[in-house]
Amino acid sequence: MTKFKGESVYSGIAIGKLCLYSKNEKKIERNHVTDVENEKKRFEDAKTEAINQLKVLYDKALANVGETNALIFEVHQMMLEDLDYIESVLNIINTQGVNAEYAVGTTGDNFSAMFEAMDDAYMQGRAADIRDITERLLNILNGSNTDGLKLEEPVIICAEDLAPSETVQLEKDKLLGFVTRQGSANSHTAILARTMDIPAVIQANIEMLPEYNGKLVALDGFTGNIYLDPDEETLSEMKAKQQKCIEEKELLQTLKGKENVTQSGQVVQLYANIGNTKDVAAVLKNDAGGIGLFRSEFLYLESSDYPTENEQFLKYKAVAENMAGKKVIIRTLDIGADKQVDYFEMEKEENPALGYRAIRICLDRPEIFKTQLRALYRASVYGQIAIMFPMIISVSEVLQVKEIIKEVKEELKAQEIPFKDVELGIMIETPAAAIMSDELAKEVDFFSIGTNDLTQYTLAIDRQNPKLGKINDSHHPAVLRLIEMVVKNAHANGIWAGICGELGADTSLTEWFLKIGVDELSVSPSMVLKVRKQVRETK
């Protein structure tokens, strides 16, 4: 038996044959050409074909992993239309009189190196996307297969790295888990693995040796351990752990329809976070009591231009109707930082996480904000909608928001368009909002604590920087004290307080959340029953 170690990005146990997946290393030759126009046409044709392939991949991902996770393939399509990338390829062909393959390969190397050299962790991650679209173009130009790895039997994939397009093309029923020697916990592929419920380990110290191919492997997605040719004792231990996982999942299904109540009778609301209308099916499947966070920015990220009032209205209306009277809390536009939208034409910032984002954009561009608010209020008559505003740091911002809402209501009344008054809340994501929560509570109906950003800003740690992962501690006493302060100030002013960040699903804190009086936990749909189990076991 040989043991290897990596970083877990999704828990679970997988036992099966190891399948080494090596990309075909393409030797790109630099050939002089006499007909540069033909080479430019070859590139343009390859680009068109690549975009068509990505559209097919988008549809496949949409069916398998949902709209939010399929978004990466729309992003890749946009990257293929990027003028800087296109102009670089065409310029190399023109000025050097070379073949399209060489121009594409050189541009891909240059652009990926440029992204990797950036200080921002999110932008560094885009280097993998550049390599992905470049390889797709080269495959098309060379006439190579772009359909990915075909699996004959269930296996555990082992690769240097996996591009999102490669991951989504793998047959889910034949993929037991995957191991990569590279990758990051914030990569699109890691996100897809979590969505597809596949045990996954990255940054593993396993070698890609041919003799490993086909050997039995036990993959522990909880610890990041990989056992090649496990001995009988280890194999027995992994099988027992795997069986326990299966039994736990089956047990969780019995909790559907049960109350989120402790043994002492304390009740907490258990809601789900979603990014689009298609995620509602997962909310209902996992028996969530409502939607605690609808990330409306995905309507903007998925569009090539500002979504109209009616486009937004139809989306919000559909979610409200599908939830059949259960609460739907919709967060207003939260772009900026790592969520950039080209048509907003925002200037590059040295530190976007501390920059022009979320409510700051909405108050600065009220015409965009009013369009969304009109759509939300129009949809309010079709269900129990509530609205919350992100990145609030002051009472004056809340007052500005309420003034714009007043204008929107007056416009709708004048146009005889029906709407209902709805609950208004704010995200508590900054130390400023937490410290001012006693004053802010007087102006709103509820708080929702965004623990991801609250941790980032409290600890002054970029949550996307993999080098800081070990000290990015969401259990830090300073973070927990701020959460407790927010809940206390909310209750003192007669409003409720919930948590919608990743910490809400951390069952090691569930008992503490209940102790300090958190009223609502909003988690990913797949975590609802797990948290319910923890609540019901709390005394």
- The set of catalytic residues is 188, 500
To 10 degrees, the CA torsion angle through 349, 355, 359, 364? -60
Q: Is the dihedral of CA 475, 490, 327, 315 positive or negative?
A: negative
**CB atoms < 10 A from the CB of 271, how many?**
27
Ligand-binding annotation for 237, yes or no, is no
4 touches 225 (CB < 8 A): yes
- Residue whose entry in the numeric block shows the structure tokens 């689009």: 276
- Residue whose entry in the numeric block shows the structure tokens 């670089």: 88
Ligand-binding annotation for 295, yes or no, is yes
Q: Is the dihedral of CA 279, 281, 284, 287 positive or negative?
A: negative
Q: Measure CA of the first residue to CA of the last residue in the chain; give whole Å.
A: 44
Ligand-binding annotation for 463, yes or no, is yes
Tokens of 531: 């948290």
Residues in the chain: 539
d(CA 397, CA 190): 36
Q: Which of 228, 202, 226 is nearest to 215 (CA)?
A: 228
Ligand-binding annotation for 331, yes or no, is yes
**CB atoms < 10 A from the CB of 338, how many?**
17
To 10 degrees, the CA torsion angle through 390, 394, 399, 401? -20
Ligand-binding annotation for 297, yes or no, is no
SS3 content of the chain, % helix, strand, coil (to 5): 50, 15, 35
DSSP conformational letter for 158: E
Q: Which of 213, 163, 160 is nearest to 188 (CA)?
A: 163
155 touches 17 (CB < 8 A): yes
Ligand-binding annotation for 416, yes or no, is no
Binding residue ranges for phosphoenolpyruvate? 295, 331, 452-453, 463
Binding residue ranges for Mg(2+)? 429, 453
Binding residue ranges? 295, 331, 429, 452-453, 463
